[in-house]
Amino acid sequence: MASLTEWKVPAAAQPRQDDYEFDLDRALSAVVGLHSIIPPDAFTAHTLGEERAGNGVVIDDGLVLTIGYLITEADSVWLHLADGRVVQADMLGIDRESGFGLLQTLGRLDLEPLPLGSSAAAGVNDRVVVGGVGGRTRSLAGRIAAKQEFAGYWEYLIDDAIFTHPAHPNWGGGGVISAAGELIGIGSLQLERVNGGQTEHLNMNVPIDLLKPALDDLRKFGRVNKPARPWLGIYATEIEDRVVAVGIAPKGPAARAELRTGDVILAVKGEKVSDPAQFYRKLWALGPAGVDVPLTLYREGDIFDVVVASIDRDRMLKRPRFH
């Protein structure tokens, strides 16, 4: 993991205490660094890497919230505190629908948890702090640029993603803190948009309200206690109002059904789809993981039907090790 002394947010973009009514330093002290090690034979090692680094936020005594891809299939996870201490943690669980990951520390952090706020109450143009480990110099003063649907290419969809601007350079697992000093989102991605003819970078953050109904299950069971959604292993994007497979997960259901990169998905069980969000909603409406998924495809001038036997995505992943 990069040293805390190696980079800083430009001074003009750092949050200033005078702009906030809550104790800024106390709130930011809840943000910790995260470093995970993943076995080389893990399903996600090729796409997400064998070492991953980002942030997490202390939300309860010994409980740290982060973005799930940082800890998926991790053999070991270490938390780096701003005072130089390093504490090991175990992965408690990941909510595949929201993308949140939850960690239990194996040592004392002695950090005050950041209270959970309401992401629904947050509005466009609201002032926020995007917190990274290391306090004000590694955190960013920003605003909510948009709240809208986000469809990820990896069979992922959330309705009210929080987009913040400017983008934090170390966004993964960072905390979005409201003007009330409460956690309203966790950093997931950096994206681009064109605004007034200029390209600008945004962070996509998962809204904290998605955690609240899942938190108890994650603590008790390591996942949300309901049937898993069907997963196909198709990496999809929208090109000219068509859903195009830009990748196929190795050994996944789509690969076993001989789908290929470049295939165009025209329909799910006879119902047309024109963008990934529509595709996912129709896929998930068919039933839980294990359901057969009839697809209509276009490939090299031919239109044909294929049935893909879906699975629970977790079947492809290594289970967490507890220390």
Residues above pLDDT 90, as percent of the chain: 93
Asked whether 175 and 31 are in contact (CB, 8 A), the reply is yes
Q: Cα dihedral sign for 222, 175, 29, 24?
A: negative
Section 181-189 average pLDDT: 99
The pLDDT value given to residue 105 = 97
Residues above pLDDT 70, as percent of the chain: 98
Residue intervals in the chain for CATH 2.40.10.120: 21-112
Superfamily of segment(s) 234-316: PDZ domain (2.30.42.10)
The pLDDT value given to residue 209 = 99
pLDDT digits (tens, 9 = 90+) for 38-69: 999 999 999 999 999 999 999 999 999 999 99
With 70 as the cut, is the pLDDT of residue 2 above it?
no
pLDDT digits (tens, 9 = 90+) for 65-77: 999 999 999 999 9
pTM above the 0.85 mark?
yes
Residue 198 DSSP SS3: strand
With 90 as the cut, is the pLDDT of residue 203 above it?
yes
* Residue 171 binned pLDDT confidence (cut-offs 50, 70, 90): very high
Cα distances (Å, whole numbers) of residue 225 to 117, 187, 216, 229: 24, 24, 10, 12
* Residue 323 binned pLDDT confidence (cut-offs 50, 70, 90): low
d(CA 150, CA 160): 7
Q: Which residues pair with 163 in a beta bridge?
A: 146, 204
Residue intervals in the chain for CATH 2.30.42.10: 234-316
pLDDT digits (tens, 9 = 90+) for 13-33: 999 999 999 999 999 999 999
Asked whether 158 and 48 are in contact (CB, 8 A), the reply is no
d(CA 184, CA 181): 9
The pLDDT value given to residue 197 = 84
Q: Which fold has domain 21-112?
A: Thrombin, subunit H (2.40.10)
Q: What is the DSSP string of 137-193?
A: GG-EEEEEEEEEEEEETTTEEEEEEEEEESPPTT-TT-EEE-TTS-EEEEEEEEEEE
* Residue 245 binned pLDDT confidence (cut-offs 50, 70, 90): very high
CA 62 to chain centre: 21
pLDDT digits (tens, 9 = 90+) for 84-136: 999 999 999 999 999 999 999 999 999 999 999 999 999 999 999 999 999 99
